[in-house]
Structure 1
């Protein structure tokens, strides 16, 4: 056969690839390859160590006796496949948890055979999902979960609570509610903040909660130094657990707010002049630490404090994790059983809490089990409001002003007038110096009061703003039925 009659290598590769793989694109234009009948999808441009599609294709060509091809032929074939895939229908890829058909939810067990858990309205099953229903994306952070045990009769929940050192029953039911929320891809859940005295096992408890969802390879990590690295870590897994936080910068606090409720990051794509790369993310977040200092009001509404206590009996790490690994299939099975039971309950959604989806989940859990998780969640948020006020002298000053106002009455001034009034109230007759961070202009004061609005509203102090012909104004009033905690000392 002459050279002109030979089939070009790129055509051989393209024909083999299209007969053994399914190619599709996501909403951001990334093209993925999915082996026929298998739910795991890999981006065709990935060079990752978890196994790129290029490597997968080379191995398949070799093992099926098609041949070994050079890099140029592979590149030309993949370029053509990518161009063809851009005309296909859009399909989403998911990490660990995904919505399915008919109201079902899928949990990726991270197994090589693709078997996953399908949680549906009448129960849960273990199956390999239809690739058209679910496409899993795997990374180095995707650990393998054991096959969950059946007919546990709730024993796994008891085993988990014995292994963790939660201080109260209220803390235990909040931890369970958070775990159930992690199995729902459409529900934003607040970030558990594991606190307690030194030696209470905060890091160990954080690992135990994380590994129920991420497998035994799931672990805690130090907070990245910048937002870009934090987003990269968040995008590569489902649960992001940060250990031993001792300080939280404003940028890190804002980034955590975005992680919990969802946001999008856009940056320039590598090796291009004008193209961009989009990353959407909303992930369960878990934090541990003794004290992170001043908590900003917007983050406080997205936190879930879980207090631990020092264990009475110490155990070795080897013994503890051996028992945990043995109990994990039962724990996971019990959690799935409880999730099905909770989702079947219909309750009204509380409308006074910012994380309304999680509050609704707590109400469902209470109706299904008799727990008091919603009341515990309200109490936890109330404690966090106290922490915010204790760390913010401006909030304390506003509460001091409100204490001298008749309930139901309002006072309206410009932001500059409020700045002078609150500054005089803080400095007092002794003219003490203003603290670092005190507002220096009316605009800064207005912005600070907007952040403090929900925190102060929980203490019966309402802040409103508007505009008249004279200009902008800020109105501070005291609600007729002001709750306790009104009087704050400076």
Structure 2
């Protein structure tokens, strides 16, 4: 054959790629390649250790007898494919959990054959999803789950609870509710905070909960030092588990709030001056630790305290994890059975709780099983409010001042007047010095009260802001329906 009749290498690669793969883009403009009939998609620019599309393409060309091509030909072909894919329809990709057609939910088992679990209104099945219904994205953190066992009659839930050291039945039902919430791609769930005395098995219990969703390779990790590294870890998996927290900085606390309820970050694209890309995220989060110190009010509304106790009988790590691996298929099957049952239950949505979706899920769990999850969730939030108040002298001072008001009474002052008033309440007759971190201006006081507003409202003290013709004001009202708790002297 004459040289003029030969197809350039880039055309051979492009024709082969379009015949064996489907290319599409996501909302952020990233182009993905999906082998025909397979649900797993890879970004065509990825160089990750889980296998890039470039490597996948090179192996396919070689095994099908088309030869080995140099890097220049592959680059030119992928550049053309990427440009063509940008004209295609937008389709999202998912890690581990995804919404499907007709109200179904998919769970990626992380298997090479693409088998996944389809949870639908009448049950659940194991199948390979249609690539146009679900596109899975996998990373190095995507572990393989065993094939779940059907018709377990709830046996797996009992086996899981026997392996964990949860202190009370209320803690157990909250852990179950959280696991069910993790199987919902659109349900924000609070972050479980596994706490307890030293030796209670907090890290082990956290691993057990995480590995039900992430497989036996799922593990806990130390909290990153900055928000950027934390978000990188969040983007690479479904459940993010942080171990042995002893301190929570304001920046880390704010980042955790964003992870739980969802946020978007905009970054400059590499090697560009003006181009940017968007990173959206909302993931289940799990924390362990004995004590993290002062908890900020906005994070307290997004936490789910799960207390553990020290086991009476100790077991070796090898024995414990061998049993866990053996029962994991049954545990996962029982969780899927319970998820179907809970989603079919009818229940009203509580309108007074911040995490309304999770509160509704707890109400559905109660309707399906009678466990009392919603009452346990309310009690846990009440305990967290106590923790916030115990760690904030300003909150204690406001409650002490409000205790002297008549039920239903209103008191209105400017922020500067409130600062002087509350400072006098704190210093008392002995004129003790104000503590470090006490508000120094009316503006600082107003901002602090805005953060404390939900916590104080839970104790029957309502804070509101308004304006008259003369000035702005802050109004404090002692609710007649929910008087504040008795406060200890500070």
Query: TM-score when scaled to structure 2?
Result: 0.99
Instruction: State whether residues 460 and 486 of structure 1, in contact with CA within 8 Å, keep that contact through their aligned partners in structure 2.
Output: no
Q: Does 1:365 align with 2:384?
A: no
SS of residue matched to 1:34: strand
Q: Give 1:293-312 correspondences, 5 Å limit.
A: 293-312=293-312
Structure-2 separation of matches of 1:277 and 1:25: 13
The aligned counterpart of 2:133 is 133
| Residue-by-residue CA offset, 1:209-246 (whole Å, 9 max, x unaligned) | 00000000000000000000000000000000000000
Structure-2 separation of matches of 1:5 and 1:29: 36
Instruction: State whether residues 407 and 482 of structure 1, in contact with CA within 8 Å, keep that contact through their aligned partners in structure 2.
Output: no
SS of residue matched to 1:343: helix
The aligned counterpart of 1:12 is 12
Deviation of the 1:432 alpha carbon: 1.1
Q: Which moved more, 1:275-284 or 1:475-484?
A: 475-484
The aligned counterpart of 1:321 is 321
| Residue-by-residue CA offset, 1:400-419 (whole Å, 9 max, x unaligned) | 11000111011111111111
Q: Does 1:68 align with 2:68?
A: yes
Deviation of the 1:2 alpha carbon: 2.8
The aligned counterpart of 1:438 is 438
SS of residue matched to 1:305: strand
Deviation of the 1:427 alpha carbon: 1.1
SS of residue matched to 1:84: helix
| Residue-by-residue CA offset, 1:291-331 (whole Å, 9 max, x unaligned) | 00000000000000000000000000000000000000000
Q: Give 1:198-277 correspondences, 5 Å limit.
A: 198-277=198-277
SS of residue matched to 1:54: helix
Deviation of the 1:125 alpha carbon: 0.2
Structure-1 separation of matches of 2:33 and 2:62: 18
Structure-2 separation of matches of 1:433 and 1:324: 55
The aligned counterpart of 1:171 is 171
Instruction: State whether residues 98 and 185 of structure 2, in contact with CA within 8 Å, keep that contact through their aligned partners in structure 1.
Output: yes
Structure-1 separation of matches of 2:449 and 2:486: 17
Q: Give 1:50-65 correspondences, 5 Å limit.
A: 50-65=50-65
Instruction: State whether residues 461 and 484 of structure 2, in contact with CA within 8 Å, keep that contact through their aligned partners in structure 1.
Output: no
SS of residue matched to 1:371: coil
Structure-1 separation of matches of 2:103 and 2:405: 52
Instruction: State whether residues 195 and 288 of structure 1, in contact with CA within 8 Å, keep that contact through their aligned partners in structure 2.
Output: yes
Deviation of the 1:3 alpha carbon: 2.3
Instruction: State whether residues 399 and 484 of structure 2, in contact with CA within 8 Å, keep that contact through their aligned partners in structure 1.
Output: no
Return 5+ residue gaps in structure 2 as ranges. none
The aligned counterpart of 1:81 is 81
Cα root mean square deviation, aligned: 0.7
| Residue-by-residue CA offset, 1:142-199 (whole Å, 9 max, x unaligned) | 0000000011110000000000000000000000000000000000000000000000
Q: Which moved more, 1:418-427 or 1:92-101?
A: 418-427
Instruction: State whether residues 203 and 243 of structure 2, in contact with CA within 8 Å, keep that contact through their aligned partners in structure 1.
Output: yes
Instruction: State whether residues 143 and 217 of structure 1, in contact with CA within 8 Å, keep that contact through their aligned partners in structure 2.
Output: yes
Structure-1 separation of matches of 2:3 and 2:415: 82
Inter-CA distance 456–484: structure 2 relative to 1 (3 Å threshold): closer
| Residue-by-residue CA offset, 1:414-436 (whole Å, 9 max, x unaligned) | 11111111111111121111111
Structure-1 separation of matches of 2:420 and 2:275: 49
Structure-2 separation of matches of 1:51 and 1:420: 63
The aligned counterpart of 1:106 is 106
SS of residue matched to 2:194: strand
The aligned counterpart of 1:197 is 197
Structure-2 separation of matches of 1:426 and 1:240: 41
Structure-2 separation of matches of 1:301 and 1:96: 26
The aligned counterpart of 1:482 is 482
The aligned counterpart of 2:420 is 420
Q: Which moved more, 1:79-88 or 1:271-280?
A: 271-280
Structure-1 separation of matches of 2:254 and 2:72: 45
| Residue-by-residue CA offset, 1:89-134 (whole Å, 9 max, x unaligned) | 0000000000000000000000000000000000000000000000
Q: Which moved more, 1:431-440 or 1:383-392?
A: 431-440
Structure-2 separation of matches of 1:70 and 1:461: 71
SS of residue matched to 1:475: strand
SS of residue matched to 2:34: strand
Instruction: State whether residues 171 and 307 of structure 1, in contact with CA within 8 Å, keep that contact through their aligned partners in structure 2.
Output: yes
| Residue-by-residue CA offset, 1:79-98 (whole Å, 9 max, x unaligned) | 00000000000000000000
Q: Does 1:429 align with 2:429?
A: yes
Query: TM-score when scaled to structure 1?
Result: 0.99
Deviation of the 1:484 alpha carbon: 5.2
The aligned counterpart of 2:452 is 452
Deviation of the 1:341 alpha carbon: 0.2
Structure-1 separation of matches of 2:107 and 2:489: 50
Deviation of the 1:481 alpha carbon: 1.9
Structure-1 separation of matches of 2:287 and 2:194: 6
Structure-1 separation of matches of 2:227 and 2:466: 34
Aligned length: 490
Deviation of the 1:67 alpha carbon: 1.1
SS of residue matched to 1:453: helix
